[in-house]
Amino acid sequence: MFNKSALLRISSLLSQPASKNFHLSSTCNEIRKLARLRVVDNSEIGKRAMAEGKPPRCIHVYNKTEVGLIGDRVLVAIKGEKKKAILVGLKQNQKPKVPKFDSNNIVLIDDSGTPLGTRIHVPIPTILRTILKERTHAKGADYTKLLGIASKFV
Amino acid sequence: MALALTTTFTKSTVKFLEERLLLLTISCGPVRNKSKQNPKPRLRNPTWFTQKHRVSSDDNVTLENKEFLKEVVQDRYFNVDNEISKDLASNVIWRPGLQRTGVMARKIGIYPMWLKTGKKISTTLLQVLDNHVIKYYPPEDYDPQVKRVGRIYNRKGCLLLGAEGADPSTFTREYCGLFKDSGVIPKRHLARFFVSPDAVLPAGTLISALHFQAGNYVDVRGLTIDRGFQGVMKRHGFKGMPASHGVTKTHRRGGNIGGGGEKGRVWPGTKMPGHMGNRYRILRGLKIWRINTKYNVLFVSGQNIPGATNSIVYIYDTKLPARKPAEPLPFPTYIGTGEELSENIFDKEIHEFSEPTIVYSDKN
Amino acid sequence: MLSTTPRLALSRQLKNFRRFATATTTPAEQPVKDKSDTRKNVLEYRQIYPEFLPDPKIEFRNPIREKLERSDMIARRANVDIPEFYVGSVLAVTSADRHSPGKLHRFVGICIKREGCGLRANFLLRNVIDHQGVEILYDMYDPTIKGIEVLRLEKRLDNELLYLRDALPEYSTFDSNMEIEILPEGAPVPVNEIKVKLKPRPWLDRWERKNLKGVQDLELPQRFYDRAKELETPWEKYDLMKQYMRTVPEEEQVEIFSEVQTHLHRSGAAQKLKRKRTFVKPTKLA
C-alpha cells in the first residue's frame, strides 16, 4: 500500500507535535468558536501552550456577530484554563492599508485589561491604537496597556 | 369645421359618460369604506404612446436623396435658433412644497472617490442626457390612469420630457408629430414628470446636469436587470437546505409555505419562486458628490442603482424629508448666467484628485 | 517516484490570461514604420501602466466613464509619483496614517499581486517582520499614499506570487531599511528566475494545479499531478473568441495610451520615470 517515502513522512509526522503539520479542520480564516489561535506574548502559560503544540482555542467572542475582528476581545481555552485575550492580528483579508497576518494572533489579558506577558514579539497593526482607545472606558478595563508592551507596529 | 365640431362633441360626451359609469361602478360595489377605495385603473395608454419605430423598408432611395434628407433634418432641427430659454426666469423662489421636474439619465459606470478624511466611497456615474421639454399638461388637462377619490390638494401638472435625439427617419410619422410643437428633434426616450404648476417649463427647454447641485440628495428610479424565473435562494435570499445528512431532492427549495387549520392557505405575499428583476425600483436619498459639467455627469453615492450599465434611469429631487436641501434649488431649472463654470463641481467633503496628498495632523 | 521535469510538464496547465500578455503575439507582417513605433510604445506602456486599460468586459464599458476615470488618474499622478513596478518588485509605500504617532506609515515588501483597472487598481505587498508574515493591500490611487518607492525593480516568472505565503519565510523577508537598487541606463527590467521552495502541505491552495514556474519541485505523490492533468484546459489558448472577449482591442489601446502619454508628458511624470533609470547602481543586498 504505502511506498517507502510515504512511510517515512508519516513517521516524521508522528515524531512531531500533533498539531504542527496537519489540521483536522480546514483553515478557518474567521475567528469563531473553537478557532485555534496563536499567543504572541511572553506570558508563561501562553509560551508553554504554544511550545507543547496545544494552541488555545477561542470559546467565545465578545461581540454581537460572534465573529472576531481585529481588536475584539475573546475568551480562550488554554491549558485547561479560561483566559481572556485580544485579537491583535488576523489571517482574514482586511481593508486596504490594514495589515493581514499569516496567523491569528492574540495577547492574553486579565479582567482589568492588563496583559499577562511583558512583551509582544510580533508586530501589531497601528489601527489597534485607535480601536483599543475607543474600547477603553473610564470605569472599565484599560486595554491600552497592551500597546505599551508591543515591540513593533506595522 | 363641422367635422371637427362633431369629433370634439363625441369626445366630450364619451368622457362624460365614462365619468358617469365610473361613479356608478364605485357606488354599487359591495365593499366597505367605499369612499376610501380608489377605482380600478382603466387600461389605457397615455396619449404619447404611439407606434414608435418605422418598419424599415428598402425604399430604393438614391444616395443623392439620402443626402437631401439629411440636409432637411439639419435645416429643420439644427440650423434654427429657437431661443426659448430667455423667458425662463421665474419670480418664484423654490420652497419645500414645490416640485421640480426630474431628468432622464444614463447609468455609465461606477468608480471610487475619496473623502477629505481619507475614506473611500463608491459612486455611480449618471450621465444626464439632452433632456428637452416636449409638452406640458396642466393639472386640469392631465387625465391620470388611476383616478383618486376625494379632494386633491397641490395638484401637479405633467411635463413630458424627451431625451437622446435620433434620426427622425427611423420613427413613424405619428411619433415625430409629438415633437412638432416643441421644435426639437425626435427623441428616443420619453418620460413624464409631475411638477407643481409654478415649475412649468416652456416646450423646447433644455435641462442639464446643473439642474441639480453637488451636496444635495436625489432619488433614482430604474428598471432592474431581468434575471428571469428564479428560485427562492436567489430571489429572496433563502438559505436553502443542507447538501447532505439524508437530505434528498430538497437542497435549494423554500420548504414550508404556511400552516394549517384556520390559516390553511397560502397567505398573500408569501415569498416563492418567480420572475426576478425587470421591474422599476427607486433608490432614495443618494448624495450628489460631484458634477461634471463638460459631459453632464452626476456622481451619485452607492453602487446599487437599479439597472445595468448603459441603461436609462430617472432622477428626481429626493422625497425624504430629512434630506431636503437647505438652500433654495434653481427654480424651475438652472439657467446659465453666461459665466464660465469649472469643469468639475465637487461637494465640500470630497478630496479632489488634483489636490495634494492628504496629511493628517494631530488634531483630527 | 518519477523524475521532476516530465511530471511538471504533465501538471502544466493553462495560465489565466493577463490582459497585456495575450496581445504580445505580434502579427507576421509589419506595418509602416511610424505605425510600428506607436505600436511598440503601446506595448511598452501597457506593461508600465496596465491599470489604464479599462475592464474588457463589454457590458461594463462606456467611453465617457473611461475618459473621466483616466483624467482623474492622470490628475492624481500629477501629485504623487506612481512608478513603474511589477509583481515581484520590492516596494516601499509611505502613507498618511491617523493611528501612528508621526501620522506617517512606511511599509516595505514584495509585490505579490497587482489587479484592478482604473481607479480601483491595487497591489498587495508582503514581508516577514520578526518571523511573522504581514501583507498590506494598497489602493494605487488612494490620496493618503504619500509616495511609492521601487527598491528593487524586477519581474518574476509568475503573474501572481501568492504561493509565497506557503513558501519558506526567507523568500519573502526584506529589510525595512533596504536601499534603492538602481539599474544601469537603458537596461531592460530583469527577470528574477528564482525557484521558491514551498513548505510541506497543507497549503492555502493546490499549487500543483496552477502551472507555476517559480517554484521548486513540489514533492507530491503522483495522484496529485494526475488530477491536475485531468483538470487542465489546454484548449483555451486556441479559443480566439475567449481571448477576444478578455482583451481591449489594440486600436483602442493605441488611442488610450497616446492620450495617457501626452498628459503624462505634460505633467512630467514620464520624465521622472526616465531619470530614475539613468543612475549607475550601488550594490547593496537585503
**pLDDT digit string (tens) for B165-216?**
999 989 999 999 999 988 899 999 999 999 999 999 999 999 999 999 999 9
Residues from chain C contacting residue B125 (CB–CB below 8 Å) = 64-65, 68
- A43-88 pLDDT tens trace: 999 999 999 999 999 999 999 999 999 999 999 999 999 999 999 9
- The pLDDT value recorded for residue B18 is 63
Please tell me which of the candidates B114, B310, B355 has its beta carbon nearest to residue C62.
B310
The pLDDT of C213-232, averaged and rounded, is 95
Q: Which residues contact B125 (CB under 8 A, 6 or more apart)?
A: B107, B108, B109, B110, B111, B297, B298, B299, B300, C64, C65, C68
Q: What is the pLDDT of residue C25?
A: 38
Residues of C with CB below 8 A from A103's CB? Answer: 132-133
Contacts of residue B101, defined as CB under 8 A and 6 or more positions apart, other chains included, come to B133, B159, B161, B193, B195, B199, B201, B207, B211, B332, B333
Instruction: Identify which of B125, B357, B361 has the shortest CB distance to residue C144.
Output: B357
Determine which of B197-206, B299-308, B335-344 has the lowest per-residue pLDDT on average.
B335-344
Dist. CA C6–CA B126, nearest whole Å: 55
| Residue linked to cell 480546514 | A26
What mean pLDDT do residues B264-272 have?
Answer: 92
Residues 6+ apart with CB under 8 A from B242: B251
Q: Write down the pLDDT at residue A27.
A: 55
Q: Is some CB atom of chain C closer than 8 A to the CB atom of A89?
A: yes
* B44 neighbors B52 (Cβ within 8 angstroms): no
Query: What is d(CA B156, CA A82) in angstroms, rounded to the nearest whole number?
Result: 69
The answer, yes or no, to whether residue A39 has pLDDT greater than 50, is yes
Distance from CA of A5 to the nearest CA of C (A): 9
What mean pLDDT value characterizes chain C? 83
Q: What is the pLDDT of residues C151-162, one digit of tens each?
A: 999 999 999 999
pLDDT-derived band at B262 (thresholds 50, 70, 90) equals: confident
Flag whether pLDDT at B43 surpasses 90. no
3-state secondary structure of A2: coil
Averaged pLDDT for residues B120-124:
97
Per-residue pLDDT at B273 exceeds 80: yes
Chain B residue with the nearest C-alpha to that of C97? B360
> To the nearest whole angstrom, how far is the Cα of A151 from the nearest Cα of chain C?
10
Distance between CA atoms of residues C227 and C240, nearest Å: 26
pLDDT at B36: 64
Q: With contacts defined as CB-CB under 8 Å, which chain B residues touch C98?
A: 118, 360, 364
Collapsing DSSP to helix, strand or coil, B180 comes out as coil
Nearest to A97 among C1, C136, C201 (CB): C136
Cβ-defined contact of B358 to C76 (cutoff 8 Å): no
> Is some CB atom of chain B closer than 8 A to the CB atom of C68?
yes
More confident residue, B80 or A34: A34
Give the three-state DSSP class for B192: strand
Of all residues in chain C, what percent carry a pLDDT higher than 90?
Answer: 68
User: Each residue of A82-139: pLDDT tens digit?
Assistant: 999 999 999 999 999 999 999 999 999 999 999 999 999 999 999 999 999 999 988 8
What integer is the mean pLDDT of C220-241?
95
> C207 falls in which pLDDT band (50, 70, 90)?
very high
Q: Is residue C278 predicted with pLDDT exceeding 70?
A: no
What is the rounded distance in angstroms from the CA atom of residue C69 to the CA atom of residue A106?
42
pLDDT above 90 coverage of chain B, percent:
65
| DSSP code at position C111 | E
B109: nearest CB among C62, C96, C142: C62
Mutate which: A3, A97, A120, A131, vs C, most C CBs within 10 A: A97
Above pLDDT 70, what percent of chain B? 86
d(CA B116, CA B171): 49
pLDDT at C5 over 90: no
Q: Do B120 and C142 touch (CB under 8 A)?
A: yes
Three-point CA angle C129, C135, C137, nearest 5°: 145
Residue C9's pLDDT is what?
Answer: 37
Q: Tell me if chain B has a CB within 8 Å of the CB of C72.
A: yes
- pLDDT band at residue C6 under the 50/70/90 scheme: very low
Strands (E), A21-148: 38-39, 57-61, 73-78, 81-89, 100-101, 105-109
Residue A127: HSE in the Cβ half-sphere, 13 Å Cα cutoff: 16
Which domains, from first to last, does chain B contain?
56-144+153-227+276-346 (2.40.30.10)
Are A154 and C107 an interchain contact pair (Cβ–Cβ within 8 Å)?
yes
CA–CA dist C113, C99 (Å, integer): 26
What is the reported pTM?
0.83
Contact check, Cβ <8 Å, B360/C97: yes
Grade residue B32 by pLDDT with cuts at 50, 70 and 90.
low
What tens digit of pLDDT does each residue of C78-111 get? 999 999 999 999 999 999 999 999 999 999 999 9
Least reliable range by pLDDT among B39-43, B90-94, B336-340, C143-147: B39-43
Residue whose C-alpha is closest to residue A46's, from A90, A83, A86: A83
Predicted confidence (pLDDT) per residue in C141-150, tens digit: 999 999 999 9
Q: Would you kindly state where each structural domain of chain C is located, as residue ranges?
A: 4-25+32-276
Put simply, the answer to whether A102 touches C133 (Cβ < 8 Å) is yes
Q: Which pLDDT score is estimated for C177?
A: 92
More confident residue, B1 or B362: B362
Tell me, what's the pLDDT at C184? 85
The pLDDT of residue B355 is 94
- pLDDT the model gives residue C26: 39
Q: Is the pLDDT reported for residue C3 higher than 80?
A: no
- Please report how many Cα atoms fall inside a 13 Å half-sphere around the Cα of residue B312, on the Cβ side: 13
Name the band, by pLDDT with cuts 50, 70 and 90, for residue B33.
Answer: low
The minimum CA-CA distance between A127 and chain C, rounded to whole Å, is 6
How would CATH label the architecture of A27-148?
A: Beta Barrel (2.40)
Looking at residues B277-299, what average pLDDT do you find?
Answer: 96
**Selected residue with higher pLDDT from A138 and B221:** B221
Asked if the C-beta of A21 comes within 8 angstroms of chain C's C-beta atoms, the answer is yes
**CA–CA distance, C239 with C242 (Å, rounded to integer):** 5
pLDDT-based confidence at residue C39 (cuts at 50, 70, 90): confident
Please name the residue of chain B whose CA is at the shortest distance from the CA of residue C98.
Answer: B360
Residue with the bigger pLDDT between B42 and C183: it is: C183
Confidence of residue C187 (pLDDT cuts 50, 70, 90): confident
Specify the 3-state DSSP secondary structure of B4: helix
Crossing angle of helices C250-267 and C63-77, in 10° steps, is 30
Spatial distance between the Cα atoms of B246 and B251, rounded to a whole number of angstroms: 11
Q: How confident is the model at residue B31 (pLDDT cuts 50, 70, 90)?
A: low
Q: How confident is the model at residue C283 (pLDDT cuts 50, 70, 90)?
A: low
Q: For residue C29, is pLDDT > 60? A: no
